[in-house]
Amino acid sequence: MKKGELQKGWGEMSDEVMKEVADWRKQQPKATFREIEAKIDEQLSGLRARMLSDTANQSAKAEWDNNEPGVVCPDCGAKIIKKGKKKRILLTRDGKQVELDREYAVCPACGQGIFPPGRRA
């Protein structure tokens, strides 16, 4: 996905977040500052997770070349072997799931699974 497409998607999602908060506020005219803040944080966490996922999946670290120097097991130093892309689910600070597609590798010497260079599975 191109940068402009990402920003367009984020803009549309941002518009939805603002609409959700505005609609909620109409239904909750006596909400306290803390309640408003909690609602906004709840709504923004989805946008934040989407931005994290999109940005991380566009990263150069999402893939690597087996011939790239220094692509070795962080435990034993043996050259790792690529095993193709796999999905990995991470959690944001606020508990939202972010799905990443990453190259996965295995160390033939010790069996350690590794997501992008130096990132343990």
| Distance, CA of 34 to CA of 5 (rounded, Å) | 34
What pLDDT is recorded for position 8? 76
Q: pLDDT > 90: what percent of the chain?
A: 29
20 in Cβ contact with 43 (< 8 Å): yes
Total residues found in the chain within this entry: 121
Helix (H) / strand (E) containing 97: strand 97-106
Q: Per-residue pLDDT tens for 49-94?
A: 988 888 887 765 555 555 555 578 888 888 888 888 888 888 888 8
Domain boundaries, given as residue ranges, for the chain:
1-58, 62-121
